Amino acid sequence: MAGRRVVVTGLGTVNPIGGDVDAFWKQAQSGVSGVGTISAFDASHLKVSIAAEVPDFDPERYLDKKEARRMDRYAQFFWAATSQAMSDSGLDFTGDDEGATRAGVAVGSGIGGVISFQDNLDVMRQRGPDRISPFAIPQIISNMAAGLASISFNLLGPNTATVTACAASANAIGDGAEIIRRGGADVMVVGGAEAPVCEFAVAGFAQTRALSTRNDDPSGASRPFDADRDGFVIGEGAAVLILEERERALARGVRIYGEFLGYGMSADAYHMTLPRPGGMGAARAMQNALDDAGLDATDIGYINAHGTSTPANDSTETAAIKLVFGDYAARIPISSTKSMTGHLLGGAGALESLVCLLAIRDGVLPPTINYTTPDPECDLDYVPNEARNVEISRAMTNSFGFGGHNVALVFGSHD
């Protein structure tokens, strides 16, 4: 690992099983499912009528009413998670002093303001183009969560957004860490957000045959690595990490959750929506992350898998882990928290990075729930159904996106 060291000094999240970090972590350790019948709209006419929604989210807890109305739901989620993480880190930037100019933001989102897109398209077709909101385009574009966070928290440094489908927030974290490593900033607010629970997005993903159709069993629908899996469950929410240059964090005397160690990327270059068979693309990303961290495969104590609950992903990811970890693959605990949260699409990598940091801090590995029927092609240790107490010092998280985007990140305890 070249360049300056990067640590994590703040966390925040809003997701289907927790409105903040503590609530989420308690539920994750208990194996609670956040999946239910869709409440945001009447989905009874769709092939899929289940999702993992954020319950009882009130943006006015964080924003005034006028500001909230100008944001899409995905940006509201990111703003809420950022507010939590900034408070957790003890950072507060004002004016145009050096601290603010050395602080930036990197956000990942797969489809940005898709709810606003659908709503404004309905307005245009029903009431005419002159009735579209003047905030329609700012609400829709996928970089706006980053822009609003920069404005609201006075982050005057690098301001960027990644749109690499379900790998987006993992890319944002890795890119933010690289900016600090090379000296482009001292603090980066990184993470991702998604709010895709609307008729257009649910119907669209259903048409790709990627979603579970277990409408009569919502809590059992997301079942990564299980032989009876039939697709992922669409989810919503956000997660944010505060990355900080290590010496700066030590000088502030703040709590450090862990250290960012490695970032690996690769491309499948194979298919629009399917992973490359055999797992070579995903394996390259994992190996690149290990190499970047300067670690051997046996140094990793836990993998938070991409684990979407689709037939193709889970067997391919299992094969990729075997390629990288060899005989050790059978001994390393692996879990997919998507079994509880559903798939946050572009926000997934950030939430699962947060899981890795909490697992390292507390020595608890969250389970893969709904694992009841072993699959011969998925024959590793998926921490089935119950959390496990295991002291670990390093963890990896995987994120793979439509288009063949592969990302792996490595975190470690702070030395």
Instruction: Return d(Cα 242, Cα 172) in angstroms, integer.
Output: 12
Predicted confidence at residue 152, as pLDDT, reads 93
User: Which pLDDT tens digits describe the chain residue by residue (415 residues)?
Assistant: 458 999 999 999 999 999 999 999 999 999 999 999 999 999 999 999 999 999 999 999 998 888 888 999 999 999 999 999 999 999 999 877 779 999 999 999 999 999 999 999 999 999 999 999 999 999 999 999 999 999 999 999 999 999 999 999 999 999 999 999 999 999 999 999 999 999 999 999 999 999 999 999 999 999 999 999 999 999 999 999 999 999 999 999 999 999 999 999 999 999 998 899 999 999 999 999 999 999 999 999 999 999 999 999 999 999 999 999 999 999 999 999 999 999 999 999 999 999 999 999 999 999 999 999 999 999 999 999 999 999 999 999 999 999 999 999 999 999 7
Predicted confidence at residue 98, as pLDDT, reads 77
Rounded to whole angstroms, what are the CA distances from 150 to 100, 239, 244?
A: 10, 16, 16
Which of 45, 198, 271, 306 is labelled catalytic?
306
Which of 198, 343, 356, 405 is labelled catalytic?
343
Burial 228-249 (b: 16+ CB within 10 A, else e): ebebbbbbbbbbbbbbbbbebb
Predicted confidence at residue 405, as pLDDT, reads 97
343 is catalytic: yes
Predicted confidence at residue 299, as pLDDT, reads 98
405 is catalytic: no
Name the burial class of residue 182, with classes exposed (0-12), middle (13-18) and buried (19+) by CB atoms within 10 angstroms of its CB.
Answer: exposed
Burial 21-50 (b: 16+ CB within 10 A, else e): beebbebbbebbbbbbebebeebeebebbb
Q: For residue 74, give both structure tokens.
A: 């995905």
Determine the Cα angle at 80 with ends 79 and 83, to 5°: 85
356 is catalytic: no
CA dihedral 382, 193, 405, 355 (to 10 degrees): -30
Q: Is 244 helix (H, G, I), strand (E, B) or coil?
A: strand
Q: What pTM value is reported for the model?
A: 0.97
Q: Is 265 helix (H, G, I), strand (E, B) or coil?
A: strand
